[in-house]
């Protein structure tokens, strides 16, 4: 019994003094250089893209119930153009399209103005 206590005490002493490998603060990550190159390429590419440089059409501005009606009417007349309702205190807006160029936006503005004469061409974020 005494020998068991001695071995136990020696074991605890050795474990408490020795350095355990899992407790090192150094972490080594091995990744291929191709991954690093792709991440850097993606960062550069994303910096060139600006989400606020798009043109949109404002179809309606007013109460929420009327905005829902205007959105439903717009979607039935122009299913090829994406539209959504946004809230801008204290009213709602029906916004349509996400055009890259002003020419493309103006072309669609002419088409939409036939059914929604109060449509405006805007550039959000500016």
Long-range contacts of 8-16 (CB under 8 A, 24+ apart): none
Q: Give the model's pLDDT for residue 113.
A: 94
Q: Whole-model pTM? A: 0.56
53-86: per-residue pLDDT in tens?
A: 789 999 999 999 999 999 999 999 999 999 999 9
* CATH numeric code, 55-122: 3.30.70.1070
Q: Which of 105, 69, 67 has the alpha carbon at shortest distance from 86?
A: 67
Query: What is the per-residue burial (b if ≥16 Cβ within 10 Å, else e) of 85-116?
Result: eeeeeeebbbbbbebeeeeebeebbeebeeeb
The domain limits of the chain are 55-122
| Averaged pLDDT, 32-42 | 87
Alpha-carbon gap, residue 121 to 102, rounded angstroms: 9
């Amino acid at each position: 019994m005494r020998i068991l206590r001695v071995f136990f005490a020696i074991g605890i002493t050795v474990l408490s003094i020795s350095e355990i490998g899992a407790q090192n603060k150094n972490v080594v990550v091995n990744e291929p250089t191709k991954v690093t190159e792709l991440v850097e390429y993606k960062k550069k590419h994303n910096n060139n893209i600006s989400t606020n440089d798009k043109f949109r059409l404002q179809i309606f501005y007013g109460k929420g119930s009327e905005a829902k009606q205007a959105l439903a009417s717009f979607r039935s007349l122009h299913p090829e153009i994406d539209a959504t309702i946004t809230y801008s205190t204290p009213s709602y807006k029906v916004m349509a399209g996400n055009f890259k160029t002003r020419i493309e936006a103006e072309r669609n503005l002419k088409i939409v103005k036939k059914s929604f004469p109060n449509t405006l061409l805007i550039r959000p974020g500016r």
